[in-house]
Structure 1
Amino acid sequence: MIAQILFVFALLGYAVLLYYTLKAMVFKGKWEYVVYFLAAYLPFHITFLSIVFQATNSTIPVTLFQLAKDLMVIVSVFLFVLYNRKIFDYPFRLHRVDWLILSFLGLAFLFLLLPLGDTGFVNKALYFKNLLIPALVYFVGRNTVFDELEVKRLFQVIFVIAVSAFAVNLLEGLINTHLQNYTGYALFNQVVNNMEPSGNFGLSWTFETQAITKRFASFFSDPLEMASSVLLGFAAGLIWFLTSKREDSFPYILVMLCSMGSLFFSSSRAAFGAFFIMIFFIAVIFKLNRLILFGFSLVIFFIVFVIFFASEDFYYFVLDTLTFQNASSVGHVLEWLNALESMIENPFGVGLAMSGNSGSVSDEARIGGENQFLIYGVQMGFLGMFLYILLLSYSIIRSIRVFRLTENVMSARIAFTAAAVKTGLLLPLFTANAELYTYVSWISWWMVGYAMNEYSKIRNNNV
């Protein structure tokens, strides 16, 4: 009964969102509105697919819905071309971030064609698709011009996602049960992703700590994705708090508190580290000495708590994590060593779909997989890894520059959020295939693209 109710509500919500988005895109020429669809749907993507499979027991509708999000981005790009009839007169002005994305994508396309690796062309094509779509999302953002209300709506979607995720976390904690136990998550993974249920709660090891306590994911695919995604909500809430009147600040404080609350429910060590990195980054950008002091105080408080007040299990859990003796940490190190060994033996790469946790990467062919930088390094060599590092670096640097130079408050908020999130994600990128977290990855790439659009305007005005 619960499965049928979930299916009806999920399908109804998806249909309404899809209808209004396509209506605006196709009939009103608002091709940019695809970002609203992505921001509202991507957090629920795996949960929605699980519910669909649980209700239909068929992979056909699951496959269609899996492709739908990619098709929406492609349709958006197609409509951009269609509604710009003088497309060849369109003023494309490329700068370093654009060139880096094109270079990275071009290198990936070359590896798609090269007869390298132990995987078939279909798997390589699917992996290339996973690289192409975020680049197209960046392209959409790069050519989007929103007014103040349209930008505000996007942030409102992000705020609702952050608050809703924490509300579901509270419900999960109250009944001491994962939402995924009701959505058919384990069955979906078993049949569609060929992943047998594991762990003590019948889902996967990701949903529990080493002390066999529950880690919650709300409506995200797993606790790690939620932990990385709430960084987006916190950064967005903070910039609106810092750039709004104090009498209007309560909603943004609520968003930040909910984001921090979800972070605790996820029990992700990398995300906690990423959160502190982002806090210090924000403090440096704004020159907020009190925020820096607050961050240091939290670190000292945590150290004192672990040494003098924490339980023995928690003390050794932290100690083993820091010394890489924790089972999870050891697993990361082994994956990194395997990837580094492959890169040393094959500095020019071994081919696409040969590393990482993407569905197109088979377990038999997989080399490494828990470090986004090394994943690209294994597949596309040192050149691919360095292009990705440069892309992230310039995305952050240029977004900060836009934040400091633009006179448009909304553009400044987007640029700041993009820079803060990309900086905060640096640590999770070391321990996971974090670009697969489509919500935070795609929305932050859209924001980088939007910021680069503003950067072009600033640069041209200064010429």
Structure 2
Amino acid sequence: MAVVFFFFIAFAVAAGFLWTVQQMVFKGKWTYFIFFLAAFLPFYITTLSVAFLATRSPLLLSLFQVSKELIVLIAGLVFVIYQRKLFNYPFRLKSTDWFMLAFIGLAVIFLFLPIGQASFVNKALYFKSMLIPSLVYMLGRNTQFEDFELKRLFQIIFVIAISAFVVNLVESFLLNAHLQQFSGYALFNEEINGIEPEGNYNLTWTFETANALKRLGSFFSDPLELASSVLMGFTAGLIWFLTSEKSQQWKYLLIMICTMGSLVFASSRASFAAFFLMIFFVAMVFKLYKLIGFGFLTLVLFVGYVVIFASEDFYFFVVDTLTLADSSSIGHVVEWALALESMVSNPQGIGLAMSGNFGSVTDELRVGGENQFLIYGVQLGWIGMLLYIGTLFTGIWTSIYVFKNSENLNVARMAFVAGTVKAGLLLPLFTANVEIYTYVSWVSWWMVGLSVREYSRIQLEVYRNELAL
């Protein structure tokens, strides 16, 4: 069964990769790399797990592993080749561009200077995990899509959101088990990543609550990635619901319901809180005050479900979360304290691959690791953390501006998703290494890049109009 499933996945990935490369290289559509990323990244770990379960071949596994970086690098190369007047290319850098360039520039310095105890190979692997999202942002920054292309990306996001919920239903009601218990996830982690199976389900502790309640991850790498990723599906569904004809709104309402269902199955406290923060953010910034009522109603329904219908395990999971009585909440505080202590003692940073949950960070050297801001602060110092924060907040502000001022409806929709998702992820960033969740991280950074491009165009148009007056 695993072999049959593997061949199906392998064919789908290979076909998608080759079609995308063909479009980029022979037709110059280098921008199409984002379609491959949006369709492949949610299934990335499941693909690797099934591939290793079926073949036991690290070499074959590496082909799938490098495909996501390779497609980005090919897109960047084709972009350069297809520039007819490369040296006359106009650079109109905005604040987000400067913050991103400074952040990556600082990382380059830390890569080559003898700072930290990690090996150069581990530092290079960690640097790659920072560089690729920045390249995705820069490619988004130079992307000019037609309406049908923007709609295609939204359609991929919608299909991912609905599919994730369907798999959750299968896990919960048909299998009564995690998909990862059948996909070879534990074997892949043990043989390739050196992570022993843990917990009551022989996966990792992430797949269960403190009282052993199942946390489902669908086809994502784990429940935390699922919970963070469905925020993007919900936001995309929301903006289409708000900007579509009434006869079409039911489809996007269904998408939002599916994403909220996946959020419940994932049982991620930070993402639950982020969901309500996101609703409040959207309502206040975009003056959609009815959403506050929607958010409050959802909260009331959730509390009612917990008190009246939820199992005893889930009830105490919620109570322990609110009282910070469970070991996970205490663990977050301990990790934050260790990271802050390191930043106070070494304000200039202790080097790449010294913090976080990325694969190249060894357990012996890890300092902190459950707060994205502090992870960068530990490694790159206070300056690095502030540059990351600057990139994030200027990207949110720019996306909001574009949503309010762009005359292109689909670009405005994309900017809405970019700004809202990045704002909604602020809370999960405090409790997880969110930038390793490649689907939501890379795709949302691409959206921010697209928004900054539109912002630059709007500003240039305003400037020209002022000159004309």
Report the TM-score when normalising by structure 2.
0.96
Residue type at the aligned position of 1:44: F
Q: Give the aligned partner of residue 245 of structure 1.
A: 245
Structure 2 CA distance for partners of 1:319 and 1:265, relative to 1, 3 Å? closer
The one-character-per-residue Cα deviations of 1:350-373 (angstroms, maximum 9, x if unpaired) are 000000000110000000000000
Q: Give the aligned partner of residue 109 of structure 2.
A: 110
How far the C-alpha of 1:36 sits from its partner, in A, is 0.2
How far the C-alpha of 1:235 sits from its partner, in A, is 0.4
CA distance in 1, matches of 2:56, 2:29: 36
Q: Give the aligned partner of residue 17 of structure 1.
A: 16
The one-character-per-residue Cα deviations of 1:291-314 (angstroms, maximum 9, x if unpaired) are 112223433555566678866654
Query: SS in structure 2 opposite 1:192?
Result: helix
CA distance in 2, matches of 1:402, 1:458: 8
Is 302-311 or 151-160 further displaced after alignment?
302-311
Structure 2 CA distance for partners of 1:461 and 1:170, relative to 1, 3 Å? same
CA distance in 1, matches of 2:39, 2:118: 34
CA distance in 2, matches of 1:377, 1:260: 32
Q: Aligned runs of 1:207-222 on 2, under 5 Å?
A: 207-222=207-222
The one-character-per-residue Cα deviations of 1:409-462 (angstroms, maximum 9, x if unpaired) are 011001000001001111111000000000000000000000000000000011
Residue type at the aligned position of 2:167: V
How far the C-alpha of 1:6 sits from its partner, in A, is 1.1
Contact 2:399 2:451 in 1 (8 A): yes
Is 108-117 or 371-380 further displaced after alignment?
108-117
Structure 2 CA distance for partners of 1:305 and 1:33, relative to 1, 3 Å? closer
**Number of aligned positions between the proteins:** 462
Is 287-296 or 361-370 further displaced after alignment?
287-296
Residues 1:95 and 2:94 aligned together: yes
Residue type at the aligned position of 2:163: S
CA distance in 2, matches of 1:111, 1:172: 43
Structure 2 CA distance for partners of 1:23 and 1:309, relative to 1, 3 Å? closer
CA distance in 1, matches of 2:333, 2:276: 22
Q: Give the aligned partner of residue 369 of structure 2.
A: 369
CA distance in 2, matches of 1:350, 1:371: 16
Q: Give the aligned partner of residue 408 of structure 1.
A: 408
Query: SS in structure 1 opposite 2:193?
Result: coil
Could you tell me which runs of 5 or more consecutive residues in structure 1 were left unpaired when the two chains were aligned. none
How far the C-alpha of 1:345 sits from its partner, in A, is 0.5
Residue type at the aligned position of 1:448: V
Contact 2:213 2:314 in 1 (8 A): no
Residue type at the aligned position of 1:194: G
Q: Give the aligned partner of residue 159 of structure 1.
A: 158
Q: Give the aligned partner of residue 417 of structure 2.
A: 417
Q: Give the aligned partner of residue 3 of structure 2.
A: 4
Residues 1:254 and 2:254 aligned together: yes
Is 300-309 or 361-370 further displaced after alignment?
300-309
Structure 2 CA distance for partners of 1:426 and 1:364, relative to 1, 3 Å? same
Residue type at the aligned position of 1:8: F
CA distance in 2, matches of 1:236, 1:301: 23
Residues 1:125 and 2:124 aligned together: yes
Residue type at the aligned position of 1:430: F
CA distance in 1, matches of 2:411, 2:48: 34
How far the C-alpha of 1:396 sits from its partner, in A, is 0.5
Residue type at the aligned position of 1:385: M
Residue type at the aligned position of 1:197: P
Q: Aligned runs of 1:177-196 on 2, under 5 Å?
A: 177-196=177-196
Q: Which runs of 4+ in 1 moved over 4 A?
A: 300-316
Residue type at the aligned position of 1:344: V
Contact 2:399 2:416 in 1 (8 A): yes
How far the C-alpha of 1:98 sits from its partner, in A, is 0.3
The one-character-per-residue Cα deviations of 1:41-76 (angstroms, maximum 9, x if unpaired) are 000001001111111112112222211210110110
Residues 1:57 and 2:56 aligned together: yes
Residue type at the aligned position of 1:241: F
CA distance in 1, matches of 2:26, 2:54: 33
Residue type at the aligned position of 2:170: L
Query: SS in structure 2 opposite 1:431?
Result: coil
CA distance in 1, matches of 2:319, 2:342: 30
Report the TM-score when normalising by structure 1.
0.97
CA distance in 2, matches of 1:311, 1:157: 35
Residues 1:278 and 2:278 aligned together: yes
Q: Give the aligned partner of residue 467 of structure 2.
A: none
Contact 2:237 2:252 in 1 (8 A): yes
Contact 2:226 2:262 in 1 (8 A): yes
Residue type at the aligned position of 1:343: M
Could you tell me which runs of 5 or more consecutive residues in structure 2 were left unpaired when the two chains were aligned. 464-469
Residue type at the aligned position of 2:195: M
CA distance in 2, matches of 1:52, 1:307: 43
Q: Give the aligned partner of residue 466 of structure 2.
A: none
Q: Give the aligned partner of residue 170 of structure 1.
A: 169
Q: Give the aligned partner of residue 138 of structure 1.
A: 137
Q: Give the aligned partner of residue 391 of structure 1.
A: 391
How far the C-alpha of 1:109 sits from its partner, in A, is 0.6
Residue type at the aligned position of 1:268: S
Question: How large is the RMSD of aligned CA atoms in angstroms?
Answer: 1.4
How far the C-alpha of 1:177 sits from its partner, in A, is 1.6
The one-character-per-residue Cα deviations of 1:267-312 (angstroms, maximum 9, x if unpaired) are 1111111111111111123312221122234335555666788666
Q: Give the aligned partner of residue 381 of structure 2.
A: 381
